[in-house]
Structure 1
Amino acid sequence: MKVMQLLPELNSGGVERGTLEIAKALIADGHESLVVSNGGRLVNQLEIEGSTHLTLAIHKKALSSLWQIRPLRKLIQQHRPDIVHVRSRVPAWLTHFALKGIPANQRPHLISTVHGFYSVNRYSQIMTQAEKVIAVSDSVVQYIQDYYKNCPAEDIVRIYRGIDPQAFPHGYQPSAEWLNQTIKDFPELENKFLLCLPGRITRLKGHESLIALIQQLHQQYPQLHAVVVGGADPKKVAYLQEMQNAIQAKGLTNRITFVGHRSDIREWLAFSDVVLSLSNQAETFGRTALEALSVGTPVIGWNRGGVAEILSQLYPQGLIDVDNQVALLKAIQKHIDEPQQVQPVNIFSLKEMCDQTLDVYKQILK
């Protein structure tokens, strides 16, 4: 098979990671993998792992992106993939128009993955207009069925995102070198009970809930410290500053540490005592929550979306009624007073995700 995946950029995030994982699985299974994007820091890894990257500006939600339809059509006609797999709305629209200009008997098969709970409108509907529509959780299947009646139920395939259990082994501990360097860089973290909020700096990730928690608990638990693992892209720097000002005004500067964008997320998840998932909107899957549980760190999160699906199966005591700050507070207190154990994770594997996706490709080619 020759499969072409399309996404806006290759910097960081679940869509990007899923693209790389499927690309790698295709190569390992003896197929050809092409990825079209505007580029980014993950291109090098993608190419080292055997895929071909084709750079095209398919990342902007702007009318000017329509200029990319003809170049994209040319790429498709030149490389002649068997399957085109779209993972985001702008690439999906551009692919829709590009394929219209190719004779029907020469068009590749079209697959989409719905990675998000997109705003419900005509623009988002394009993600449900493919021969097979992959949904990354049961919550996403429900979302498609609720809002896009045009998409037949038999065309939707639920494939959970997955992680490599060897990359996040149960009981994992960071190396002495890592610990020494981290305490050197952030001496305030030494001998603390660490609450970790991972994820990019955006208003959606629930930083306000974390600040409120620390404000309520810091006098009762002097050993409690929060660490925010994730960077702010240039558009979010003002929000980061706003948060830091609020933290300073509340006298919590020495209780909350921002460590920025990190490539050593496994270490931070293992180093932490509890990982939080407090997004203001339901997560479609919640891979970071799964990674934390995989290494054996308890996760406490709102009972909605993909995170609820993961927690209900792996760590139900971490589920909290949505926006119930009192229940959240009590759960944190319980975890500080009585450390909890997480059982080894043996579901949601990366291999299952890749095998199921390649099966969809193979079935569609039959």
Structure 2
Amino acid sequence: QLLAEGSEHHRLPIANKSLRSLAQIWAIRRLLQTLDPDLLHLRSRLPAWLCWLARPPKRSPRPRWVSTVHGLNSVNAYSAILLRAERIICVSQTSADYLKQHYADCPVERLRVIRRGVDPMEFSADAKRPDPAWRARLQARYPALSGRYLLLLPGRGTRLKGHDSALQLLGRLRAEGVDASLLLLGADQAGRERYLRHLHELASQLNLSGHWQALPMQADVADYYRHADLVLQLSTRPESFGRTVAEALLLGRPVLGWDLGGVGEQLRDAFPSGLVPLGDEGSLLRRASALLADPQIETIDRGRLTTVDRMQQQTLAVYAELLGTPATSR
């Protein structure tokens, strides 16, 4: 796609964080000399370090430097390389606040908040409506998902994603007579068999056998969102953004999540009814019951969600801003 659209694509073996990646410094230096780019956009720490070590002499005003901080990275000198850029794009206000809190020398005037964008073509509530036949096929294949209400928690197989809380919520809902099922999409993950056994043991203790299902992540994740009555985001560690929240809300599906990090930030903006204080299981149950009983309890403000187009335009605006100003010391 890049080539078809007129880009040049140069590949270097720097995917693994190892000392062998340092051998690419000379290749990057030659590439920079050949291309003489106006601007470099560094989107992770290792490429940023390699480009920093390969940079032209200080007397050269080019290339200008932009970085993107995607995660709430460990606070150390290795992560701090991203703060040397002349403009630092943060994927959420949570991410920007994290940098300001943990780095005393954080150049606040260089920070720009641009939320990650969701593709409205893929996650459109208008382009494709829920198909009862799709859900019927899902329930036929996985009878454990045959409850009247389908709860969906998308996320990889790790305790940090809050699967335990989701199972406990399901148990409490069913104890109150709510005919609900739970799908843990992505929890069935290669190399995480021990964790999956833990989930089965917990579900058995909660008498939930036959009412929940763990699956690998699916390519048609948008269809799973469309047919969920309630999407859960119960990560216990702050996330910088929380992509699943934006995807589900853009599709018009109610999301229930802890008021934490980027997840809380997005819910506060677009769907405050889905916010629950971190760890408050009682409030989680009450809010889940209310949203299942009346999913239209509050209109989702989709205008507060960032689409890919908006993200791209905001990023190009940062480029234009930087290229129109004198170079700063790095």
TM-score under structure 1 normalisation? 0.79
Q: Give yes or no for contact 1:230–1:260 (8 Å, CA) kept in 2.
A: yes
Greater alpha carbon shift after TM alignment, 142-151 vs 336-345: 336-345
Opposite residue 142 of structure 2, the aligned amino acid is F
Once the two structures are TM-superposed, the CA of residue 159 in structure 1 deviates from its matched residue by: 1.2
After superposition, the CA RMSD in angstroms is 2.5
Instruction: Answer yes or no: is 1:343 the counterpart of 2:300.
Output: yes
Name the SS for the 1:310 alignment partner.
helix
Partners of 2:187 and 2:26 in 1: how far apart? 35
Q: What's 2:224 paired with?
A: 268
Q: 1:61, 1:248 → 2: CA distance?
A: 40
Is the contact between residue 194 and residue 273 of structure 1 (CA under 8 Å) also seen in structure 2?
A: yes
Q: Structure 1 residues 364 and 58 mapped into 2: Cα distance closer, same or farther (>3 Å)?
A: same
1:37 corresponding residue in structure 2: none
Q: Is the 8 A contact 1:128 1:148 kept in 2?
A: no
Matches of residues 83-98 of structure 1 in structure 2 within 5 Å? 83-98=39-54
Alpha carbons of structure 1 residues 117 and 293: separation in structure 2 relative to 1, 3 Å: same
Where does 1:49-64 land on structure 2 (aligned, <5 Å)?
51-64=7-20
Deviations 1:160-210 (A, max 9, x none): 222244433336523456435433432332353111111222232111211
What is the alpha-carbon distance in structure 1 between the residues aligned to residue 7 and residue 188 of structure 2? 29
1:72 positional shift: 2.7
| Aligned: 1:322 with 2:278 | yes
1:344 deviation in Å? 5.0
Aligned mates of 2:69, 2:111 — CA distance in 1: 10
User: Cα distance 1:201–1:80, how it changes in 2: closer, same or farther (>3 A)?
Assistant: farther
Candidates 215, 222, 228, aligned match of 2:184: 228
Matched, 1:144 2:99: yes
Q: Which runs of 4+ in 1 moved over 6 A?
A: none
SS at match of 2:303: coil
* Alignment-derived partner of residue 217 in structure 1: 173
Match of 2:151 in 1: 195
Shift of residue 214, structure 1, vs aligned partner: 2.1
Contact 2:155 2:161 in 1 (8 A): yes
Structure 1 counterpart SS, 2:209? coil
Is structure 2 residue 29 aligned with structure 1 residue 70?
Answer: no
Summarize deviations over 1:238-292 as a string: whole Å, max 9, x none. Answer: 4334333443454433222122111212111111011111111112122221221
Alignment gaps of 5+ in structure 1: 1-44
| Equivalences for residues 1-366 of structure 1 within 5 A | 51-99=7-55, 104-105=59-60, 107-170=62-125, 172-175=128-131, 178-221=134-177, 223-230=179-186, 234-248=190-204, 250-341=206-297, 342-343=299-300, 345-350=302-307, 351-366=309-324
8 Å CA contact 2:186, 2:215 repeated in 1 = yes
Question: Any idea what SS the aligned residue of 1:105 has?
Answer: coil
- Percent identity between the two aligned chains: 37
Q: Which has the higher contact order (CA 8 A, sep 6+)?
A: 2
Aligned residue type for 2:28: L
Q: Which runs of 5+ in 2 are unaligned?
A: 325-330
Contact 2:147 2:211 in 1 (8 A): no
> What CA distance in whole angstroms lies between the structure 2 residues aligned with 1:63 and 1:241?
37
Verify the 8 A CA contact 1:165 1:349 in the aligned structure 2.
no
TM-score by length of 2: 0.87
Q: Which residue of 2 aligns with 1:29?
A: none
Cα drift, residue 328 of structure 1: 0.9
Closer, same or farther: CA 59–359 of 1 in aligned 2, 3 Å? same
Change (3 A) 1:53 1:76: same
Partners in 1 of 2:82 and 2:193 — Cα distance? 31
How many residues align structurally?
321
Q: Following TM superposition, by how much is the alpha carbon of 1:144 offset from its aligned partner in structure 2, in angstroms?
A: 1.2
How many angstroms does 1:300 deviate by?
A: 0.9
Kept in 2: contact 1:99–1:107 (CA 8 A): no
Q: Are 2:157 and 2:196, in contact at CA under 8 Å, matched by a contact in 1?
A: yes
* 8 A contact 1:202–1:232 mirrored in 2: no
Distance 1:292 1:107, change over 3 A: same
